[in-house]
Structure 1
């Protein structure tokens, strides 16, 4: 039987990897393949490139432990996949189905060019808990509001979690290629700065984080997830974005954990954004719900926001966490996005683009879906929602611990004063005056 290529994209794991499991079940040699495509990597955050290198090294090690290996190539994904198919006489390509405009176009082209080369292509679930095409509302199309989606999502029948392969073997004559750093271009690839406190990548590290989360903070997530100072969230977003964790396996494990349903609801939000993106692939560049918003060109304000120099402590704390960690607490993401779009009236695309240059998770569906939600152009049923940033600051960081942790100029201020330091005659030394007066 002719070999099967398993094209890894953002499903970098061996456990519960349906495309890989199906290839192994066929009984033919399996060629695990990852292609570093400059069309993606040249505009990816350096934090994601670094995470990806670690994830690929870990994946290669896991595949070798089962007797196989990971073939690494650099170039156009479709062209390199067809080239490897010819080198190995592969008759099939397996990959995980994805939803972004880029992924959809890549999939369509792969189907066309593989068919011309006499190679079959099969796509499998695995990027989400529930495939984006399930569930479908009674009127067809997709769910535009989360709450009804969540009710149906919970009752959807889920596929079985599949085991990691125990025996693999590359066909003779195929070279694995260089290291992940070689094919990904090293430190020169990507955009943005490398965050000094970024999270490391790989399936083993991700599974350790998941285990710690399920045995620790998951049970109290509903009560503590908005506490900025406590940092009581899972920190699994990058692991899910790169598929180092199976979202289905994570959901099943959390459902069996006391109090886990509240966190599982966040996985449903992730699925929700993916099914919206599948139906509206222009989510990164076009308003999902155009409402005639008037945006301002304010490069000075935008740059101050990027650098965490707005003079609004809770906003600056979030932006500086992003720079130092390649991550931002979800509540802080909402606050910083609201400041840019609701107070400065700068277009959400500018904010989403900056997030994309630094976030290690950097998922198109989630990042742009949430930015549009805050900006009033997305799936929020209250598009004119007003964000009182002082109230948010005092409610979710009452002692100012989160602010002082990330804004060094305010580290010595008492908790009650840290939210509004501009009330003094002059701001603390080195800290800017606010771009806007928030009022009460």
Structure 2
């Protein structure tokens, strides 16, 4: 039994069904709940202010829950190694975390463990973030999977633990020198943010999953509210992935939405076993890119002259979110029509998405480019895609005010007859797709 332990929150911003936290509370007399805000994070070209806002909102709510338990969240605005040294001086004898799987996270946790070893602090890392442990799902030959369907067929056989309640009360009640108040975390507030942080918001989504009974048939229609908004909550763990899994299964049964959770697992699994995907394709294919800064800028700003593409990019820029069907279209357009490197798209999405998850974002972009877990060379025709999935141009008009007075048939034929005030197509799809 440790006299004083620290639990470090990262992608698990909740008290309930938190594996590492529950273990710390069980094995210690007192537990200090901590969050390390490394200043270097904001300097990354992949930093998303929208994701940071969601995280900050979740931390503020988490802090209020801890205050109800006569404690607080101890925020340290310094490197993890410096924070560990500070905790050691306060008498912390054990540090608990939940395991993360990106190369950055593995390096970070290696540094935390080394700092703990130097200070004589016990270090413990628990499996918590995924439905299946990456090391435990293998092919018959013992190698990692590179294709989703066989992975899914194997992974779905693994029994998912039932969520655990947290009835512990042994949280640290006194202050720690150098710890910031949670409310002191500075972030840019986006009033148009698609989804806001905090466990209460996640529980609200989970309680209303019945309205997604038609998810399989409606998930491709961008004009509908056919997506759950759970992705950001899954990224930051405001509810555990087990809570999400059982909420979906109990209300909707074995369904497409449940399968999507395994896609999240799979992309994390691939990035863990093949970390070179952060920077290089999973499958090395001959792909020639044409960097045109004016084309990239037009794509980023939603001024390509292709309505479905521009609507998606404007939605992303405003809200930090883009409908999944539209994500596929804009990614295909960047890589197959503009012939711009998928890594440029990956970086831009990372800087905007409220649900930015490095492994998932990387996996989706490689899938779109045809060099990832599925090497099939797909080209999404933006004209047929918008006519099929947004026939009345409801979604397009929502995000492109220049076209709100235009009839759907005009919008779907805009490549032949431009609309005054709206950008002309920057390329010819039929020519570039060859």
TM-score in terms of structure 1 length: 0.93
Residues 176 and 19 of structure 1: CA distance in aligned 2, closer, same or farther (over 3 Å): farther
Q: Deviations over 1:174-224 (max 9, x none)?
A: 258333353x4444xxxxx94634422111112112222x1322x211111
Shift in alpha-carbon separation, 1:246–1:86, aligned structure 2, 3 A: same
Q: How many residues are matched?
A: 428
Match of 1:160 among 156, 159, 162: 162
Contact 2:29/2:170 (<8 A) preserved: no
The corresponding residue for 2:382 is 389
Structure 1 residue aligned with 2:211: 216
> In the TM superposition, what is the alpha-carbon distance from 1:431 to its structure 2 partner?
0.9
Structure 1 residue 173 displacement after superposition? 4.9
Per mean C-alpha deviation after superposition, the further-off stretch among 6-15 and 301-310 is: 6-15
Q: Structure 1 CA distance, aligned partners of 2:273 and 2:191?
A: 34
Q: 1: distance between equivalents of 2:170 and 2:403?
A: 56
Describe the shift of the 1:79–1:40 C-alpha distance in structure 2 as closer, same or farther (beyond 3 A). Answer: same
Q: TM-score by structure 2 length? A: 0.94
> In the aligned structure 2, how far is the partner of 1:123 from the partner of 1:27?
15
Match of 1:190 in 2: none
Q: Aligned residue for 2:429?
A: 438
C-alpha separation in 1, matches of 2:165 and 2:66 = 13
Matches within 5 A, 1:40-55: 40-43=41-44, 44-55=47-58
Cα-to-partner distance string for 1:269-320 (whole Å, 9 max, x where unaligned): 0000010111122323111111021011110000000000000001001001
**Given that residues 279 and 343 in structure 2 are in contact (C-alpha distance below 8 angstroms), is that contact kept between their aligned partners in structure 1?**
yes
Partners of 2:160 and 2:371 in 1: CA distance: 32
Q: CA deviation at 1:91?
A: 1.7
Counterpart of 1:409 in structure 2 is 402
Aligned match of 1:107 in 99, 106, 109? 109
CA contact (8 A) 2:305 2:425 kept: yes
- Name 1:84's counterpart in structure 2: 87
Unaligned runs of 5+ in 1: 188-192
CA distance in structure 2 between the aligned counterparts of 1:92 and 1:137, rounded to whole angstroms: 37
Distance 1:195 1:288 in 2: 37
SS, match of residue 32 in structure 1 = strand
Are 2:26 and 1:33 equivalent residues in the alignment? no
Q: Do 1:69 and 1:176's aligned partners in 2 also have CA atoms closer than 8 Å?
A: no
Aligned 1:11-30 pairs, distance under 5 A? 11-30=12-31
- 1:8 — aligned with what? 9
Q: Could you report, residue by residue, the CA deviation over 1:353-404 in whole angstroms, capped at 9, with x for unpaired residues?
A: 111111011100000110011011111141x222222222122112111111
Match of 1:326 among 320, 336, 340: 320
- The runs of 5 or more residues in structure 2 that have no matched partner are none
Q: CA deviation at 1:121?
A: 1.2
| Structure 2: distance between partners of 1:65 and 1:181 | 16
Q: Matches of 2:390 and 2:307 in 1, distance apart?
A: 11
Q: Residue 134 of structure 1 aligns with which residue?
A: 136
